[in-house]
Amino acid sequence: MNETLALKIKGKATEEGFILAGITTPTAPPHISTYESWLDAGRHASMDYLARADARQRRADPKLILPECKSILVLAFPYQPVSPLQGEMTNRADGGNSPIGKIAAYALTEDYHLFLKEKLQAIVDFIETQIGHPIPNRWYTDTGPILERDMAERAGLGWIGKNTCLINPKEGSYFFLAEILLGIELPIDEPFTSDHCGTCTRCIDACPTQAILPDRTLDANLCISYLTIENKGEILEELRPQIGEWIFGCDICQQVCPWNGKALKCSNVETLELSTIQTEQNLVEELSLTPQEFNKKFKNNPVKRTKRRGYLRNIAVALGNAGDSAAIPALEKALDDIEPLVRDHARWALDRIMSKGEK
């Protein structure tokens, strides 16, 4: 009965668009000691919520989240790997070009926290219909105190790569992870035990800030994704040049991964449709966004997480790194912005552009 049910559940997950599905137990994650050491070393930067005692305890024991939990369904949902316009230039009215800001691929569509919850609930409803009664359950997608990649590896979805991403040999790493804790016992899938990174170090070598560490963790204090998203304050001046033109997140360690190259060649999965608004970021124009315009533009989009001040901070840094003198008027105007964070980074960008022009 349960083997048949497990197959039906995985079939339902496929219907909902998930490309990988596996089942594991609610026992302690295999890399919990690595995670604890990572926290103790302060590599979580300002993300203090990760180090709270209750959060640490729940990550070590999923049954503290759902005491009735007997099995965990782990899922992967794909997203479009590359923005068509990243790294290109847009034409200005005067015939010149303006730099395009780079946004992590996952943020080029609706916030996954919003649309995945409906799919996860649909799977729970399906399971309860199949067995004929409600069951204890709890689901997450990057929102709960769970070591997702550990769970996914143990459920057979892939291995944790040197770039810290979960990698599947057929699908690469461009997918969201989600978990459903279930109060029913289901047959457990074999864990993914092989490591296919081998001697490759492309991700480590390509990281501009050298944030990727040898133990398959990263130092958030240096990570471009952290600096442009979770970091709510200033970006250290010594790190700003390495950020390049990334204005929300970073995909470099995924872009250089050979397994993603292989996955893109053979994939026939229909991924989420990109939003034209999100793929056409003219940095000069973005710097003038009012609070109302920012909220309207990024409603239901992951970029809203940075808030306007964080986003414009990132825009200013990207403009400084692009070194385009055409951005000077916009940056000078930003010196009067309502946010001190934006003013400070605009001043840095102006100094950087001016210094380049004097050479």
Q: Which of 125, 142, 205, 351 is catalytic?
A: 142
**Rounded Cα gap, residues 100 and 288, in angstroms:** 15
User: Do strands 175-182 and 137-140 pair parallel, antiparallel, or not at all (unpaired)?
Assistant: antiparallel
Comparing CA positions, the residue from 235, 214, 243, 206 lying closest to residue 45 is 235
Q: In what order do the strands lie in the sheet with 71-78?
A: 20-24, 71-78, 175-182, 137-140
CA distances from 86 to 96, 120, 282 (A): 18, 31, 11
CA distances from 25 to 35, 70, 147 (A): 19, 7, 13
The type of residue at 258 is P
Q: Are 180 and 72 within 8 A, CB to CB?
A: yes
Verify whether residue 142 is a known catalytic residue. Answer: yes
Residues identified as active-site: 142
